[in-house]
Amino acid sequence: MRRDEKTRQLPIIMITSRTADKHRDHALQLGVNAYMGKPYQEDELLEKIAQLLVSQSDK
């Protein structure tokens, strides 16, 4: 997605059961904007979405 000009700017939130630092670090290196382990809190997800939308609107 990051290589495609049409989708490059879309925010990506990865939600996964893999919570080890090495997995998080790898995902962030690939361009993920936020990384959340399962189980996650709904309010935390909504806050991350709101933050990403605000940062996108600032661009």
Q: Give the domain ranges of the chain.
A: 13-57
The predicted structure's pLDDT at residue 25: 97
Residues found in the chain: 59
For residue 1, pLDDT over 90 is answered with no
> Does residue 59 register a pLDDT over 80?
no
Report d(CA 22, CA 5) in Å as an integer: 28
Interval 4-8 mean pLDDT: 93
Buried b (16+ CB within 10 A) or exposed e, 42-51: eeeeeebeee
pLDDT attached to residue 56? 81
pLDDT at 20 over 80: yes
The pair of three-digit structure tokens given for residue 29, joined into one six-digit string:
């290196």
